Amino acid sequence: MGGRAGPTDAVSLPRRRRSPMIDTLPAARPVPLDPMAEALRLARLADHRQGPNPMVGAVVVADGRVVGAGHHQRAGGPHAEERALAAAGERARGATLHVTLEPCAHTGRTGPCVARILAAGIARVEVATLDPNPLVDGRGVQALRAAGVAVAVGAHAEEARELIRPFAVWVTTGLPLVTWKVAMTLDGKLATAAGESRWISGPESRRRAHRLRHEHDAVLVGSGTVLADDPELTTRLDVADPRQPLRVVVDGRLRTPPGARVLRRAEHPTLVVTRPGAPAARRAALEAAGAELVEVSAPDGRCDLRELAGRLGERGCTSLLVEGGSAVLGSCLTQGLVDRVVVFVAPILVGGRDAPDAIGGVGIPRLADALRLRRLRAEPLGDDLCLTGER
């Protein structure tokens, strides 16, 4: 177009550019044409470190310019709106607030955002999606409207809902969102008949698998996997300070050796989940090795994984990554514990009656009862395919 810069052409934040309340607004960037997309980008900067709270971003726009922006960084810390409004200061008066989640109207660890929005004199609020927290759930929007603020809900709703999915499941059910991660051969095997499993998937898939650990609050395997692979279950990523999920081993008979790698390098103690009547001496040995023993009921001899999920939810875990092996995946399947599936399929065939299948257990006898996934997607990842689907 050329010519003079119009009022909507530049972000101008002369006085507050260096304010720590502004998260990452570059100085001379054009105003985002889509403030909610910018708010979503900011929300993602939390990078899963704000749990159990949701990722939330907010942008304040006045006279076509971004005058404040922020995201929620840590549970217990200021909400996205508070940061954005603080950055905007007086310029928030009469401005529009774009926020990826409905502002809260309740007092949790921090005060209600609705009160802050009203005090700042915001005239209009754009909300991407409502807060599924039963303490909020529409009350924030209602309170704003009752106070005379114009509110519109729904811009980028699908993206915003996807962003808060673990939080939404956890806050409404008390359970974490459960994702399975499986790396298998093209013929659906987790290992060869001789037990070799390193490595089936390629380096790109393995990097993605570490990214998945970073994104989850807890990661779970069965004791069979511990015995076969001796995994560390830590996140190895080339980002600064990757998140280390809580490590959980399901081990009804307490077969985990006290020297297992999964018990080392503890940021938090590894949970070893067992059933009533597990051998006391093994319990003591695992506790001495630093494990935290958790007992759940086992009506049919197998640990009740739903009960375990409830316990993890109580500890604030909003997302659980189940990494196998086939027995644990089989139990999750029959106990209805799967929300998302990520399958890395390697272009190799090994065959073998005795080679473990991806999912074991008794399985689902009737096709009509099979778990049918939605939104199945395939993405090439190096030589592998990464398949994702949702319940």
Binding site for ligand AOF (CB under 6 A): 53-54, 56, 72, 75, 79-81, 101, 103-104, 108-110, 113, 131, 133, 136, 171
User: Considering beta carbons, is residue 56 or 278 the nearer one to ligand AOF?
Assistant: 56
131 binds, among Zn ion, ligand AOF, none (CB under 5 to 8 A by kind): ligand AOF
Smallest separation (angstroms) from ligand AOF to the CB of 106: 7
96 binds, among ligand AOF, Zn ion, none (CB under 5 to 8 A by kind): none
83 binds, among Zn ion, ligand AOF, none (CB under 5 to 8 A by kind): none
228 binds, among Zn ion, ligand AOF, none (CB under 5 to 8 A by kind): none
Q: How far apart are CA 345 and CA 54, in angstroms?
A: 31
Smallest separation (angstroms) from ligand AOF to the CB of 29: 23
Side by side, the strands of the sheet bearing 124-129 are 65-71, 57-62, 96-101, 124-129, 150-153
Task: Take residue 219 and report the two structure tokens written for it.
Answer: 């990661």
Coil, strand or helix: which one is 25? coil
Degrees, nearest 5: CA angle 274-169-321: 45
Based on the residue annotation, tell me whether 307 is a catalytic residue of this protein.
no
Smallest separation (angstroms) from ligand AOF to the CB of 134: 9
User: Considering beta carbons, is residue 141 or 350 the nearer one to ligand AOF?
Assistant: 141
Spell out a b/e string for 228-245, using b for 16 or more CB atoms within 10 Å of the CB, else e.
bbebebbbeeeeeebbbb
Contact 69, 84 (CB under 8 A): yes
User: Considering beta carbons, is residue 104 or 337 the nearer one to Zn ion?
Assistant: 104
Degrees, nearest 5: CA angle 50-51-57: 45
Residues that bind Zn ion (CB under 5 A): 79, 104, 113
Q: How far apart are CA 154 and CA 160, in angstroms?
A: 9
Smallest separation (angstroms) from ligand AOF to the CB of 45: 12
Task: Take residue 170 and report the two structure tokens written for it.
Answer: 């956890």
Residues annotated as part of the active site: 81
